[in-house]
Amino acid sequence: MNSADREREDLPRPSPERRHVYGRRRGKRLREHQSDLMETLLPRISVPLEGKTPLDPAALFEPGTKEVWLEIGFGGGEHLIFQAGRNSDTGIIGCEPFINGVAKLLAEIETHELSNVRVLSDDARFLLERLEPESLSRIFILYPDPWPKKRHNKRRFINAETLALIARALKPGGQLRFASDIPDYVGWTLARILRHNRERAHGEGALEWLAECPSDWRDAPQDWPGTRYEEKAIREGRTPAYLDFRRL
């Protein structure tokens, strides 16, 4: 089987019940070693979603794992690799439908010999729907596709459905971090989280914004390695915002 054939085999078979995943699934052709990793390493660390029973994410990792974190849309994997290397006793799940991003992450996992990373090469909503309630300690959504045209705004990952799933998956006291360089998407996110919180009659499951002063959302957090998307944004004159929330 040549590398092109392997790439075709790597793509999940869509079922009639799947929702559409917007955006590209692949970019340029994978290098031979990347294709090999998609065939050998990815199956060993993939998150299984077969069946319908709730998924305990801690069961995906070695005994002694203290917490499980989730990064939704990890792009080139810079942030995920940084966090996994810095927090060896934490299991980190990365979700990314873009095949080339997955291949890059696999290469970094191999290079840094990381054993605390698991991968879903698909839409994160499929995982969020299956997770046991209150099973994650942190969730990261960093520079998601802004879908800037108004007719495409409905494709944005942050919406009422996903916020409900995120709040359900986080433990009380667990944190959500959202970062974007698009002011409209930052405002969109704050507005939808405010609406989400208003619907929580007794406050349980609300997402409390932790900012106390402008520097809290203007300055990068201490545990922030930077990403290539962020570098591009700053280079092009856009200002990133970092929003941290705590699940009540």
Residues involved in catalysis? 145
pTM for this prediction: 0.88
- For 104, the token pair is 């890059």
pLDDT at 24: 54
For residue 209, the cross-strand partners are 245
Q: In order of start, what are the domains of the chain with their CATH numbers? A: 31-247 (3.40.50.150)
Q: Give 102-116 pLDDT, tens digit per residue.
A: 999 999 999 999 999
Which residues contact residue 86 at a Cβ distance below 8 angstroms, ignoring those fewer than 6 apart?
A: 223
Q: Give 140-183 pLDDT, tens digit per residue.
A: 999 999 988 889 888 999 999 999 999 999 999 999 999 999 99
Q: Give 86-144 pLDDT, tens digit per residue.
A: 999 999 999 999 899 999 999 999 999 999 999 999 999 999 999 999 999 999 999 99
Residue 8 has pLDDT above 50, yes or no: no
Task: Please state, in angstroms and as integers, the Cα–Cα distance from residue 246 to each residue in 26, 29, 124, following that order.
Answer: 34, 40, 20
